[in-house]
Amino acid sequence: MSILLFSLLVALGSFVAGGLGALTGLGGGVVIVPLLTVVFGVDIHYAIGASLISVIATSSGAAAAYVRDGYTNVRIGMFLEIATTCGALLGGVLVALLPTHIVSAIFGVVLIFSALSSARRHDPGAYQPAANHQSLAQRLRLTGTLPVPGKAGIAYVAHRVPLGFAVMILAGMLSSLLGIGSGAFKVLAMDNAMRLPFKVSTTTSNFMIGVTATTGVGAYLGHGYIDPALAMPVMLGVLAGSLLGAKVLVRTPSKFLRYGFMGVLLVLGVQMILAGVGITYV
């Protein structure tokens, strides 16, 4: 296979990954790593390095559009980014101490459980606080309004902030350990733990994952696992895909996004379990 053909195929696969990452808030890394390792035979370390670059590209491509359209809650994202960045730094330390296959298997089990639990629909009233309820979220102004085309927006406030913050630390740690961006845990923390509207969860996750991935990229760059010839077509493909995905998300009903999110979580969970017990991607 020529270098040009290889780059074009990688860019095409990355385009699909970027669109999926923008729609679900997971980042393109969940598709990039198995794509590069299984289909193209790339070493896992270089695949993870390119995956982290793709996560940054997904965040950069989709985040601007979501912020402009009012879906991303920047204040919540910046607050939770404190937790994910600390978790990513902790994961960078633990990566040399913990067997990755054990973490991978546990992660897979949690993802499958989370996919099943995410099927529970939220009552729109659950997004709003009780009357005169002075919660931690209100004191931190972790509130917002979900835009609804042609209708009045839906007001919401973050619930169970300490729980969401704790899950975000775990998400950042897993990002460094597994190199997948951990967008799944970010969305789950905001959707299930903090009871934010699903579109707010996915768009704010896209806003956040770039910062978390940047923390992890430093370690891979220091070890020489960032190959520009591989990272460039991945980055360009994911960036284009994420921009298209951002436009599709605005017009897609939340229930379809939730079902797609569940499906990706189930596939990813099985993939992680197989990797944890020593079975390569199939």
Query: pLDDT per residue over 172-211, tens digit each?
Result: 787 766 666 566 678 878 888 888 888 888 888 878 877 7
In this prediction, residues 24-45 reach a mean pLDDT of 73
The band of 9, judged by pLDDT with boundaries at 50, 70 and 90, is very high
**Cα dihedral value 155, 161, 167, 168, nearest 10:** 70
Would you give the end-to-end CA distance of the chain in angstroms? 22
Place of tokens 């007001």: 155
Q: Which amino acid would we find at residue 80?
A: L
Token pair belonging to 109: 């089990």
Q: Is the pTM of this model over 0.85?
A: no
Higher pLDDT, 87 or 271: 87
The band of 79, judged by pLDDT with boundaries at 50, 70 and 90, is very high
Residue 262: per-residue pLDDT: 77
Spatial contact of 188 and 120, defined as CB atoms under 8 Å apart = no
The highest-confidence range among 136-140, 161-165, 219-223, 276-280, by mean pLDDT, is 161-165
Chain-wide mean pLDDT for the chain? 77
Token pair belonging to 227: 């190959």
The band of 16, judged by pLDDT with boundaries at 50, 70 and 90, is confident
Q: Is pLDDT of 282 > 70?
A: no
Instruction: For the chain, give every domain's residue range.
Output: 3-276
Spatial contact of 4 and 225, defined as CB atoms under 8 Å apart = no
Higher pLDDT, 128 or 3: 3
The band of 45, judged by pLDDT with boundaries at 50, 70 and 90, is confident
Q: Which amino acid would we find at residue 43?
A: D
Higher pLDDT, 93 or 79: 79
Residue 131: per-residue pLDDT: 42
Question: How many Cβ atoms sit within 10 Å of the Cβ of residue 282?
Answer: 7
φ and ψ at 147, to 5 degrees? -65, 135
Place of tokens 């939340």: 254
Q: Is pLDDT of 259 > 90?
A: no
How many separate helices (H) and strands (E) can be counted in the chain? 11, 2
Spatial distance between the Cα atoms of 14 and 233, rounded to a whole number of angstroms: 8
